[in-house]
A and B are shown apart, each in its own frame.
Chain A
Amino acid sequence: METAEAKNFKKVDIIFECQDCKPIEVLDTNLQRKPDDIILDIIDSGLKGRGGAGFPTGLKWKFTKNESAEPKYVICNADEGEPGTFKDREILDRVPEKVFVGMALCGYSIGAKEGIIYLRGEYNFLLKDLNKKLEKFNKQLKERNLDFAITIKSGSGAYICGEESALFESMEGKRGEPRNKPPYPTSEGYNAKPTVINNVETLVYTTMICNLGSDKFKELGTKDSRGSKVFSVSGDTPIAGIYELELGMSLGTFVEEFGDGDTKSVQVGGASGHCVPRKYFEDTIIGFEGIPTGGSMMIFNSTRSMYNVLHDYLEFFTEESCGQCTPCRVGCQQLLEGIEAVKKGERRPSYLEDLKKLASNMNLAAKCGLGQSVANPFNSIVDNFKEEIIY
């Protein structure tokens, strides 16, 4: 745990706020600027990817711009599948134009002509409205002589396709199996061409940084975690929903605001994130210096069995593992069967230690983030709630 001082709890209104900001006007103003200036602004803002992995957005844009291969692509990752996350759906539903403008500005900055939104199949009900708005937006781009257009591709129910290289495979009509890295998307992404792939929320922040200036953005958050972030709050809370909050607060202040007074633990970052028990709430900072999150905050009170929570997560990973690499395919199954065996008394409690080693090995040996991150929930739940797993 970090000892950095936590920020106070503060609600922010940048993503959904739309009074001052007509997205198309942000585009117009910024098309007057040099592409490099826009990229420098995004780098200067310190914005890191809001999908969970947290790569600096401006650098992604710069690396892709520096590639000589053509064509280049801008892809919006709307394959929001992490359990407990529902913010991207809300953003695409309420302020899609801000996403489109972010994509267009990225295209203008890096020299791409094609933008594609990869929308998870579970959100197909958004298609009709999004396509209508895109038609209008693409027309507006044409009127401005900007050689850029956005289309949508749908997913078909596969969590792993949120992993960027699996997403490219899926867009290319293949099984959504992650690729080896390097090469990274900035040099060989979709169709093996230089590609910027950003999360929905990240793209909105790029629009807003271009609108407000990077200094305004930097006023929020901490040195390692600039700005604010949209949180999806669910579970045992009287006020479940979407909240945009300044980064860097302690989990303690978060629970004070959202908990039901009986909070036992919070799963920060979804099924692939960390489980934090009550005793660590105050010392845990939400941000890249503490526990980073794609926004999923699942709150559990003392009536919940953490065995059930872990069982649910492991079932999820077992089903969603693409099956390509052995550590993940077999590891997920063994972890699931393992805790079932301990619960039934078929295995000694000390078997949990072996399973923890297996999870740590998966972290080292699995090919992509899915298999690598199973150790996060597994080890944090087993370490903090061992009695609940055994008895």
Chain B
Amino acid sequence: MSNTDALIKNLVEKHGNSRNSLMPILQGVVREERSLTEDAMLKVAEALDISAAEVYGTASFYTFLDTIPRGKNVIRICKTITCHMKGKDEIIEALEKELNINVGETTSDKQFTLLTANCLGWCHKGPVMLINDEIYPDLTVEKALEIIQEYAHNTK
């Protein structure tokens, strides 16, 4: 049994195999693996006894349920107006340069994916970014780079 298979089995045991459990199960897979592979979605469909199209339909609707491979750390920088006014463009530029990728891409070592997001709910403390589930408000370029370097260091 592969890691993903075991993970799905555990999640189904924890949340049950009803249709209402689909979101927590998909969220659980993404929490561990950062994205949903075709194989994972097929396995979930089988476990819940629904069609794979239903699983893909749900997964593809939600921004955080990625169906394309992502890095170990997913960075989402808020791009909505107040964060824009407080300088999110400089943060994005700095991170693109540091990680040597553009927004939407993943580093070749699969450690980081850089994305933008709609309003993250920290408009009074922008610019702000989310890394996986952790939030980092009041960013400056220096602070953002420091945080990224810390992640790079910790996940080596």
Known: A157-B64, A312-B84. A170 touches B117 (CB 8 A): no
The verdict on A304 contacting chain B, using a C-beta distance below 8 Å, is yes
Q: Which residues of A contact B61 (CB under 8 A)?
A: 158, 175-177, 322
The docked-state distance in angstroms from the alpha carbon of A127 to that of B27 is 14
The docked-state distance in angstroms from the alpha carbon of A270 to that of B47 is 41
- Interchain CB contact (< 8 A) of B20 among A83, A172, A296: A172
Q: Which residues of B contact A153 (CB under 8 A)?
A: 23-24
The verdict on B58 contacting chain A, using a C-beta distance below 8 Å, is yes
The verdict on A36 contacting chain B, using a C-beta distance below 8 Å, is no
- Say whether A234 contacts B133, CB under 8 Å: no
Q: Which residues of B contact A242 (CB under 8 A)?
A: 124
The verdict on B111 contacting chain A, using a C-beta distance below 8 Å, is no
The docked-state distance in angstroms from the alpha carbon of A259 to that of B141 is 27
Chain B residues 24 to 38 lying within 8 A of chain A, measured CB to CB, are: 24, 26-27, 30
Interface size bucket, B side?
35 or more
- Say whether A320 contacts B118, CB under 8 Å: yes
- Say whether B64 contacts A89, CB under 8 Å: no
- Interchain CB contact (< 8 A) of A122 among B26, B81, B85, B121: B121
- Say whether B120 contacts A122, CB under 8 Å: yes
- Interchain CB contact (< 8 A) of B124 among A173, A240, A316: A240
- Interchain CB contact (< 8 A) of A175 among B21, B58, B81, B126: B58
Instruction: Output the least CB separation between A52 and chain B (Å).
Output: 14
Q: Which residues of B contact A125 (CB under 8 A)?
A: 133-135
- Say whether B23 contacts A83, CB under 8 Å: no
- Say whether B58 contacts A89, CB under 8 Å: no
Q: Which of A155, A156, A304 has the most B CB atoms < 10 Å from its CB?
A: A156
Known: A156-B63, A157-B63, A158-B63. A80 touches B121 (CB 8 A): yes
- Say whether B27 contacts A156, CB under 8 Å: yes
- Say whether B22 contacts A173, CB under 8 Å: yes
The verdict on A241 contacting chain B, using a C-beta distance below 8 Å, is yes
Secondary structure dominating the interface of B: helix
The docked-state distance in angstroms from the alpha carbon of A233 to that of B82 is 11
- Say whether B133 contacts A173, CB under 8 Å: no
The verdict on B77 contacting chain A, using a C-beta distance below 8 Å, is no
| 5 cross-chain CB contacts under 8 A | A154-B23, A172-B19, A177-B61, A242-B124, A313-B81
Q: Which residues of A contact B140 (CB under 8 A)?
A: none
Interface size bucket, A side?
35 or more
- Say whether B118 contacts A83, CB under 8 Å: yes
- Say whether B23 contacts A86, CB under 8 Å: no
The docked-state distance in angstroms from the alpha carbon of A33 to that of B88 is 52
- Interchain CB contact (< 8 A) of A316 among B24, B27, B63, B118: B118
List the B residue with the shortest CB-CB distance to A123.
Answer: B121
- Say whether B27 contacts A175, CB under 8 Å: no
The docked-state distance in angstroms from the alpha carbon of A291 to that of B132 is 37
Q: Which residues of B contact A89 (CB under 8 A)?
A: 121
What 10 pairs between A and B have smallest CB-CB spacing? A173-B22, A157-B63, A240-B124, A234-B123, A156-B62, A157-B64, A156-B64, A175-B61, A83-B119, A124-B133
The verdict on B65 contacting chain A, using a C-beta distance below 8 Å, is yes
The docked-state distance in angstroms from the alpha carbon of A173 to that of B11 is 14
Secondary structure dominating the interface of A: mixed
- Interchain CB contact (< 8 A) of A157 among B20, B84, B117, B135: B117
The verdict on B145 contacting chain A, using a C-beta distance below 8 Å, is no
The docked-state distance in angstroms from the alpha carbon of A158 to that of B122 is 17
The verdict on B130 contacting chain A, using a C-beta distance below 8 Å, is yes
- Say whether B19 contacts A173, CB under 8 Å: yes
Instruction: Output the least CB separation between B49 and chain A (Å).
Output: 13
Known: A83-B81, A86-B123, A175-B58. A122 touches B117 (CB 8 A): yes
The docked-state distance in angstroms from the alpha carbon of A155 to that of B62 is 9
Q: Which residues of A contact B65 (CB under 8 A)?
A: 156-157
The docked-state distance in angstroms from the alpha carbon of A242 to that of B124 is 9
Q: Which residues of A contact B26 (CB under 8 A)?
A: 156
List the B residue with the shortest CB-CB distance to A311.
Answer: B81
- Say whether B62 contacts A83, CB under 8 Å: no
The verdict on B80 contacting chain A, using a C-beta distance below 8 Å, is yes
The verdict on A40 contacting chain B, using a C-beta distance below 8 Å, is no
- Say whether B85 contacts A316, CB under 8 Å: no
The docked-state distance in angstroms from the alpha carbon of A368 to that of B41 is 30
The docked-state distance in angstroms from the alpha carbon of A239 to that of B19 is 46
Instruction: Output the least CB separation between A83 and chain B (Å).
Output: 4
Instruction: Output the least CB separation between A325 and chain B (Å).
Output: 15
The verdict on A232 contacting chain B, using a C-beta distance below 8 Å, is yes
Beyond contacts A156-B26, A159-B118: 11 other A-B pairs, Cβ-Cβ < 8 A, are A80-B121, A81-B121, A83-B118, A86-B121, A173-B22, A174-B19, A175-B58, A234-B124, A235-B123, A316-B119, A322-B61
